[in-house]
Structure 1
Amino acid sequence: MHNDAPTNQNIAPVGIVFELSLGLAGALLAKWFGLPLQDWLTPASDSILRGVLATLPMLAGLALAMQSSWAPLANMRERVRALVTELFAESTWPQLAGLAIAAGVGEEILFRGALQPIISEWSVPLVGLAVSSFFFGAVHAATPTYFVVATVVGFYFGWLTQQYDDLVAPILAHSLYDFVALVWLQRRVA
């Protein structure tokens, strides 16, 4: 008997591989262009603290977005809930943590560790920051509102990178935020 009813999938392992492949692409670009990626990835207590603290405004924004009745945020919230339900409803917390870490590492190495400095070298730092943030928003564009929000978050991560010459804080903030958001959304769906 054939059942056409949709089934929940657990694609967290596939997502982990994909996100890490973004980091590999970023690392290869950084090497190709002679960027000091390893220097930017050296953890220090101040970069770790900065990463944890940088997560707080984003979590406050998530809490506000989850409660907002403004139509663009409500539409974004429903689209993201549907995606989390479809893709991660069966994922365990360790799988979600792995996915969040892979996204933080992979995306930050690609967007802030490679694209932002490469574009900055070709133009000026503000253009590198803006263009890499735009690309970051574009790959997260589940809705037009999500594109705008992700672009702003990308700008925030890029500013952290540029201001402190460090990728540890943006990676940590990105990973922590993604983990909390995924778990929160998964629990709300359940």
Structure 2
Amino acid sequence: MTQAPQTAPRAPIRLASQLLTCLVFCLIAAPIIWFGRPHPLELFSRPLGPLTQLLVGQVLALLAAGVSWLLFRMTANSASSARTIESYAKLDLGGLNPLWISIAAAVGEEMLFRAALQPLLGVWIVSLLFLVTHVPVYRFRKLDGAALAQAAGVFVGSVVLGFVFQRVGLLASMLVHAWIDIVGLMIVRAAIR
């Protein structure tokens, strides 16, 4: 009786890869913002001032993080949650990495999708693009109920971030995004232990 060859476990996706992705997103966003906006530096002070964005953003971020945690608790045993945990378990979630990964994702993705693309394409199309970029992470290729639940969550989350960007500002959308990711990655880290 021969045994099937065992594949070596994959090395986790390192923090450096996440930071590089953030940098690439920011480098793509920068010329779009610089040449596409009449006053690009106002991006951080409109529609509300920076301090107001940070304060309102923190309140919205804590609310979003709480909703994210509550939704996970309600769906902890679902196929959708199991797949999400499996997808994000590929990241190196040791130490403070969930914090740094979350900040990198929030800065890079909000700069590209909200600050650069949303003024050109609108909330709905950008949210669809945001969903498409998350296909490799969530493995939506298999269209079943779990995949549709994951896709709906990513899309709705992107729409919410788009409206936070429009109504409050970029700093607020970054805070909300970061807190959602921090809570999500901490849940994944606890689940894989």
| Shorter-normalised TM range | 0.7 to 0.9
1:153-186 per-position Cα deviation (integer Å, ceiling 9, x unaligned)? 111111111113x201001111122122212221
Distance in 1, matches of 2:123 and 2:90, equals 33
RMSD over equivalenced CA pairs, Å: 2.3
Distance in 1, matches of 2:79 and 2:24, equals 30
* TM-score normalised to structure 2 length: 0.80
- What SS class does the counterpart of residue 182 from structure 1 fall into? helix
Amino acid at match of 1:75: A
Runs (5+) with no aligned partner, structure 1: 120-127
Percent identity over paired residues: 22
Amino acid at match of 1:186: R
Structure 2 residue aligned with 1:41: 44
Q: 2:117 aligns with which of 93, 102, 115?
A: 115
Return the offset for 1:84. 2.4
Runs (5+) with no aligned partner, structure 2: 139-146
Amino acid at match of 1:79: R
**Is the alpha carbon distance of 1:79 and 1:161 closer, same or farther for their aligned partners in structure 2, counting shifts above 3 Å?**
same
Alignment of 1:1-190 (within 5 A): 4-34=7-37, 36-42=39-45, 44-69=50-75, 74-89=78-93, 91-93=94-96, 95-119=97-121, 128-141=122-135, 142=138, 143-164=147-168, 166-190=169-193
* Stretch moving more, 99-108 or 24-33: 24-33
Return the offset for 1:8. 4.5
- Partners of 2:65 and 2:179 within 8 A in 1: no
Distance in 2, matches of 1:24 and 1:47, equals 24
**Is the alpha carbon distance of 1:188 and 1:22 closer, same or farther for their aligned partners in structure 2, counting shifts above 3 Å?**
same
**Is the alpha carbon distance of 1:98 and 1:35 closer, same or farther for their aligned partners in structure 2, counting shifts above 3 Å?**
farther
**Is the alpha carbon distance of 1:35 and 1:77 closer, same or farther for their aligned partners in structure 2, counting shifts above 3 Å?**
farther
Return the offset for 1:151. 1.1
**Is the alpha carbon distance of 1:36 and 1:88 closer, same or farther for their aligned partners in structure 2, counting shifts above 3 Å?**
farther
Distance in 2, matches of 1:56 and 1:146, equals 21
**Is the alpha carbon distance of 1:70 and 1:181 closer, same or farther for their aligned partners in structure 2, counting shifts above 3 Å?**
closer
Return the offset for 1:107. 0.4
- Partners of 1:48 and 1:168 within 8 A in 2: yes
Structure 1 residue ranges, 4+ long, deviating more than 4 angstroms after superposition? none
**Is the alpha carbon distance of 1:38 and 1:149 closer, same or farther for their aligned partners in structure 2, counting shifts above 3 Å?**
same
* TM-score normalised to structure 1 length: 0.81
